[in-house]
Amino acid sequence: MSKKKKQLKKTINNVVNHSLERMKKLKPADRFELFMELGEWIFNDLDLDDELMVPQFKRGEKTIEQI
């Protein structure tokens, strides 16, 4: 597996773990909706072509509005 795919899987696993921790603080209806969203990642095979990843920008970089 390529380094990029390994990093993406690690990132997704971290998001799932963080979201499961968040569920402890949510109301039941909100917890259900979050679980259904995460269920796609947990129970289905990962198709990297279907995942939208937003780059992490360094602090101090100019945004589009600043250019």
Q: What is the domain partition of the chain in residue ranges?
A: 11-43
How many angstroms separate the CA atoms of 37 and 15, rounded?
Answer: 12
Structural tokens at position 43: 């129970």
pLDDT of residue 52: 67
How many angstroms separate the CA atoms of 15 and 39, rounded?
Answer: 12
**49 has a pLDDT exceeding 80:** no
**53 has a pLDDT exceeding 80:** no
Full-prediction pTM beyond 0.75?
no
- Predicted confidence (pLDDT) per residue in 3-44, tens digit: 888 888 888 888 878 888 888 999 999 999 888 887 877 787
Of 59 and 8, more confident = 8
pLDDT of residue 61: 59
